[in-house]
Amino acid sequence: MTLNRLVGVFFLVFGALSYFILIPQGIVVPSNIQHFTTSPAFWPNIITVIIAIMGLLLVLQNSDVEDINTEDIEEELEDHTSWKTRTPRLLIILSMLFAFYFTIEKFGMVAPAMLLILILMLFAGYRRWSLILLFSILVPTALYFFFTHVANIPIPLGIFETLRG
Pick the more confident residue, 63 or 151.
151
pTM comes to 0.58
CB 83 within 8 A of CB 53: no
Of 1-5, 10-14, 90-94, 130-134, the least confident: 1-5
Q: What is the mean pLDDT of residues 3-17?
A: 92
Task: Please report the pLDDT score of residue 149 as a whole number.
Answer: 84
pLDDT digits (tens, 9 = 90+) for 70-122: 666 666 555 566 777 778 888 999 999 999 999 999 999 999 999 999 999 99
CB 103 within 8 A of CB 112: yes
**5 pLDDT higher than 80:** yes
Which pairs with CB-CB distance under 8 Å and at least 24 residues apart come from 44-49? 44/18, 45/19, 48/15, 48/18, 48/19, 48/23, 49/15, 49/19
Q: Which amino acid is at 36?
A: F
Q: How many CB atoms lie within 10 A of CB 1?
A: 11
Q: What is the mean pLDDT of residues 122-149?
A: 92
pLDDT digits (tens, 9 = 90+) for 46-72: 999 999 999 999 999 875 555 556 666
> DSSP alpha helices (H): ranges in 19-109?
23-26, 42-60, 70-79, 83-107
Instruction: Name the pLDDT band for 38 (thresholds 50, 70, 90).
Output: confident
